[in-house]
Structure 1
């Protein structure tokens, strides 16, 4: 199984609407990805460890797929729709993508 993570770096005075991201953008992606998607989640950054420190990432979205090919097969036809939605939740542009293999799952 693989995880596709989209990491949105914290920016001083940057705008990120985590409510829109969690309730509109990610469900949109989930609908577009259909049954190929195995699960999704959103992390909203709180801090970098010590109290009062800004988080390295303001948010991260995660998608689970069986294989990387399965991800690309459903992402590529819908990429523009998802990219066009980005200005609705952030002024920071695209996030950083990390595709990782899940070795252990609880």
Structure 2
């Protein structure tokens, strides 16, 4: 994968949640932006892409970011779990779960 800049990771998304795992590891949750065309209603929330991005601040810039695009999730929140290993855990109100992390 080509290295991406901070702007390229987040272009087209706005932040809806974050979780801090440590002084140097942060998770950001983005929600895909969309523009309504005249006469169309809001999309079904499960059709809107959410992006869970990890930032490891003490790594070199070119290795600092990682992400997963989540589809099929509705309204979603993230937290950090320490057991069995440190992860970001994303959960929607229908109890769908996605875990990311514990590279170290």
- Same fold flag (TM > 0.5): no
Structure 1 length as normaliser, TM-score? 0.32
Structure 2 length as normaliser, TM-score? 0.32
Higher strand proportion (structure 1 or 2): 2
Higher helix proportion (structure 1 or 2): 1
More RCO (CA 8 Å, sep 6+): 1
